[in-house]
């Protein structure tokens, strides 16, 4: 059978550089670089940075592909290591935007406006560029692009797979089977599991793209075996984890060197979840984690729906695949995971590949909206600058609006709060101290500073939720080599009791401290926490308490605390409130021992950091005569 090339095939596969494709990468990358976090941030940042620096293993399931992808960026002669890995994420996000551009071009390859191929080519490329730019400045992708995250890399890989499957379908319809396209896709899908496991939620959509071309494909045993083999070959990237574990890297989460421990790590056995009920309000909150209007505005929703309507006539397989992807994501993430209310924000990031498909639909919708207008308007044969200008305004109004709306909240170029929080905590500790941490966001920046930037290596920083695991105790021999925790079933004992045992063993041998989160997460019967800045020194109940050391505050760096920065995510806000509560606690204690001037200074900083705490400050003042 003679193969018929699509009308715009030369535009897609030309050896000449496509300036629109270059812009689809350069514009997002420039935006991300302008708003990039300069160092470590909260959430998983410090952990990913430490794993990347040491080529180790991050939290389950390890993320080996992201770590290996980011490692070469650590060799850039730019800023600190954290900044370089942040650049890696910005670049992967820009590549995901390029994927949007090429998908739009491919879906519109047969469209023709005014019987003018040159004009049609320009409009198609402009629609693709507009879609790429709109996707780049959505709240979710932008937030993931400013610091180390694996989701943009996953989005790029999924865009490549969708593109290759669409190309395979067209060749298959023209009589050229080309199974290599499918094999490459299964290889990429298997490899993408090492970026994030949510890639499996796209398998039904990809399967539909194949069987809707020819349902008999499911009976081609040879091709199925080869496709499975290529998927396993891609999945073999996970062998990185046990191989690197044998070298005991700096961060070796789960120590997956044995088959048992590897499966424990890969299957996320370290995150047990107790079954819980769900009412209508929780269900609605979980569903709202996928929020296209929030990402693209209601105009974007209308354009995406319009694209689905237009594609249904000639490319309904695309419509079916997109709707299947959304349905599976919702069924699994909402229906199966049943996330607790305070953890729903974590599942919002899982939808990034689906938002990429939404951006593609918006680009298609923009083109068809223009097509609808052109077919009902009288335009001159020779189109002038005003017409092109109007098209430009029409296509780029959405990305410009999204950029203007989301820029302030995603500008992290001056976000040093996590870095300063960690350095301030370390400055509060005496030589050879041990400080137990609780929350991941408070612990991970400390891991980065100590493990990568080599700050305060005399200090041990055990993470309380992990001391229930034997692999973690073994990773800190200086602290836990002879600990009785090895003799307990610590996972049944729980982190609180394990912490009490560990404190009892260490106390008297080394200065023992806990962080703010531990202070308010665990009750101690034999010990009393004594404030020392934003951390607490442990003392026995029957020992004299003494005054808190307020001199430690003079050594603190408060960038973004006393003067507000634009970016403020959940854990950054929590860190700011920790500072405010610590100042309040110190101020109240100082006033209780007659140091009114010092106490008032602390209370004043409390109000400056968190004006919403003014009622609490007033209560303290009223207890001590209402002085100011």
pLDDT(548) > 80: no
Spatial separation of the C-alpha atoms in residues 585 and 562, rounded to whole Å: 17
pLDDT at 553: 87
Domain count, the chain: 2
281 belongs to a structural domain: yes
pLDDT(3) > 60: no
Q: How confident is the model at residue 8 (pLDDT cuts 50, 70, 90)?
A: very low
Q: Give me the sign of the Cα torsion angle 250, 498, 444, 515.
A: negative
pLDDT(7) > 60: no
Q: How confident is the model at residue 120 (pLDDT cuts 50, 70, 90)?
A: confident
Let me know whether 466 and 403 are in one domain.
Answer: no
pLDDT at 377: 67
Cα 75 to Cα 39, 63, 68, 240, 283: the distances in Å are: 16, 20, 13, 20, 45
CA angle, 458 then 461 then 463, to 5° = 165
Let me know whether 283 and 337 are in one domain.
Answer: yes
pLDDT in tens, 287-310: 999 999 999 999 999 999 999 999
417 belongs to a structural domain: no
Q: What is the mean pLDDT of the chain?
A: 90
Let me know whether 435 and 404 are in one domain.
Answer: no
Let me know whether 432 and 315 are in one domain.
Answer: no
Spatial separation of the C-alpha atoms in residues 23 and 20, rounded to whole Å: 5
Let me know whether 378 and 434 are in one domain.
Answer: no
Spatial separation of the C-alpha atoms in residues 321 and 356, rounded to whole Å: 13
Spatial separation of the C-alpha atoms in residues 145 and 506, rounded to whole Å: 41
Let me know whether 384 and 434 are in one domain.
Answer: no
pLDDT in tens, 492-522: 788 999 999 999 999 989 999 999 999 988 8
585 belongs to a structural domain: no
260 belongs to a structural domain: yes
435-464 burial string, b = 16+ CB within 10 Å, else e?
bbbbbbbbbbbbbbbbbbbeebeebbbbbb
Average pLDDT over residues 538-553: 80
312 belongs to a structural domain: yes
Q: Is the peptide bond before 464 cis (omega within 30 degrees of 0)?
A: no
Q: What is the CA radius of gyration of the chain?
A: 28
- Helix (H) or strand (E) holding 435, with range, is strand 434-436
pLDDT at 571: 87
Percent of the chain's residues with pLDDT above 90: 69
416 belongs to a structural domain: no
Let me know whether 399 and 435 are in one domain.
Answer: no
Among 545, 577, 604, residue at a domain's last position = 545
Let me know whether 197 and 235 are in one domain.
Answer: yes
59 belongs to a structural domain: yes
pLDDT(395) > 90: yes
Spatial separation of the C-alpha atoms in residues 147 and 93, rounded to whole Å: 11
pLDDT at 447: 95
Among 494, 526, 545, residue at a domain's last position = 545
Among 516, 545, 574, residue at a domain's last position = 545
pLDDT(2) > 50: no
Spatial separation of the C-alpha atoms in residues 399 and 76, rounded to whole Å: 31
Residue 320: partners with Cβ closer than 8 Å, 6 or more residues away: 208, 212
Query: Residue 271 in contact with residue 67, Cβ under 8 Å?
Result: no
Query: Residue 20 in contact with residue 128, Cβ under 8 Å?
Result: yes
Query: Residue 130 in contact with residue 396, Cβ under 8 Å?
Result: yes
Query: Residue 513 in contact with residue 529, Cβ under 8 Å?
Result: no
Secondary structure, 3-state, 257-285 = CCHHHHHHHHCCCCCCCCCCCCCHHHHHH
pLDDT in tens, 567-595: 778 888 899 999 999 999 999 988 888 88
Q: Which among 575, 577, 616, 617 is positioned nearest to 599, based on CA atoms? A: 617
pLDDT in tens, 72-115: 999 999 899 999 999 999 999 999 999 999 999 999 998 888 77
Question: What DSSP state is assigned to residue 460?
Answer: B
Query: Residue 359 in contact with residue 135, Cβ under 8 Å?
Result: yes
pLDDT in tens, 421-478: 999 999 999 999 999 999 888 899 999 999 999 999 999 999 999 999 999 999 999 9
Let me know whether 88 and 124 are in one domain.
Answer: yes
Let me know whether 33 and 80 are in one domain.
Answer: yes
pLDDT at 6: 45
pLDDT(278) > 90: no
The parent domain of residue 486 ranges over: 428-440+453-545
Percent of the chain's residues with pLDDT above 70: 95
Let me know whether 473 and 388 are in one domain.
Answer: no
pLDDT in tens, 31-71: 999 999 999 999 899 999 999 999 999 999 999 999 999 99
Let me know whether 81 and 213 are in one domain.
Answer: yes
Q: How confident is the model at residue 380 (pLDDT cuts 50, 70, 90)?
A: low
321 belongs to a structural domain: yes
- Helix (H) or strand (E) holding 70, with range, is helix 64-70
């Amino acid at each position: 059978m003679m193969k018929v090339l699509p009308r715009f095939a030369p535009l897609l596969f030309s050896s000449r550089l496509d300036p629109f494709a270059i812009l689809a990468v350069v514009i997002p990358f420039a935006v991300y670089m302008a708003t990039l976090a300069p160092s470590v941030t909260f959430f998983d940042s410090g952990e990913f940075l430490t794993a990347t620096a040491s080529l180790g293993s991050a939290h389950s399931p390890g993320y080996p592909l992201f770590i290996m992808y980011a490692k070469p960026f650590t060799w850039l002669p730019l800023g600190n290591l954290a900044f370089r890995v942040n650049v890696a994420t910005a670049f992967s996000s820009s590549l995901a935007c390029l994927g949007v551009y090429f998908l739009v071009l491919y879906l519109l390859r047969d469209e023709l406006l005014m019987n003018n191929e040159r004009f049609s080519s320009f409009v198609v490329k402009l629609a693709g560029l507009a879609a790429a730019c709109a996707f780049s400045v959505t709240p979710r992708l932008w937030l993931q692009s400013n610091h180390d995250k694996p989701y943009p890399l996953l989005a790029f890989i999924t865009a490549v797979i969708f593109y290759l499957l669409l190309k395979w379908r067209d060749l298959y319809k023209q009589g050229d089977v080309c199974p290599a396209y499918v094999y490459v896709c299964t290889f990429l899908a298997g490899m993408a599991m090492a970026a994030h496991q949510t890639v499996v939620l796209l398998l039904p959509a990809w399967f539909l793209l194949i069987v809707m071309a020819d349902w008999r494909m499911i009976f081609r045993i040879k091709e199925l075996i080869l496709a499975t083999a290529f998927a396993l070959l891609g999945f073999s990237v996970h062998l990185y984890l046990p191989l690197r574990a044998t070298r005991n890297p700096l961060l070796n989460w789960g120590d997956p060197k044995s088959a048992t421990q590897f499966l424990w790590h890969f299957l996320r056995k370290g995150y047990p979840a107790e079954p819980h009920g769900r009412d209508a309000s929780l269900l609605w909150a979980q569903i709202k984690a996928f929020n296209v209007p929030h990402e693209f505005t209601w105009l974007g929703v209308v354009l995406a729906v319009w694209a689905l309507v237009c594609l249904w006539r000639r490319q309904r397989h695309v419509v079916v695949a997109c709707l299947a992807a959304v349905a599976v994501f919702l069924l699994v993430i909402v229906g199966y995971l049943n996330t607790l209310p305070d953890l729903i924000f974590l599942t919002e990031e899982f939808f990034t590949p689906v938002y990429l498909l939404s951006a593609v639909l918006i680009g298609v919708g923009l083109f068809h909206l223009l097509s609808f207008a052109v077919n009902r308007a009288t335009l001159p044969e020779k189109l002038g600058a005003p017409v092109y200008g109007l098209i430009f305004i029409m296509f780029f109004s959405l990305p410009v609006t999204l950029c203007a709306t989301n820029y302030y909240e995603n500008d992290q170029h001056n976000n040093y709060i996590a870095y300063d929080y960690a350095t301030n905590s370390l400055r509060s500790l005496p030589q050879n101290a041990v400080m137990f941490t609780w929350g991941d966001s408070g612990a991970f920046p400390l891991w980065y500073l100590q493990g990568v930037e080599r700050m305060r290596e005399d200090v041990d920083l055990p993470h309380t939720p992990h001391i229930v695991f034997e692999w973690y105790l073994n990773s800190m021999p200086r602290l836990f080599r002879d600990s009785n925790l090895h003799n307990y079933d610590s996972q049944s004992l729980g982190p609180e009791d394990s912490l009490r045992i560990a404190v009892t063993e260490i106390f008297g041998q080394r200065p023992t401290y806990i962080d703010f989160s531990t202070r308010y997460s665990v009750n101690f019967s034999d010990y009393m926490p004594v404030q020392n800045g934003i951390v607490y020194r442990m003392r026995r109940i029957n020992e004299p308490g003494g005054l808190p050391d307020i001199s430690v505050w003079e050594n603190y760096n408060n960038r973004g605390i006393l003067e507000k920065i634009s970016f403020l995510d959940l854990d950054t806000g929590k860190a700011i409130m920790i500072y405010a509560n610590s100042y309040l606690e110190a101020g109240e204690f100082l006033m209780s021992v007659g140091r009114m001037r010092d106490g008032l200074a602390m209370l004043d900083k409390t109000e400056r950091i968190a004006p919403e705490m003014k009622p609490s400050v007033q209560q303290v003042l009223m207890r001590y005569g209402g002085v100011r």
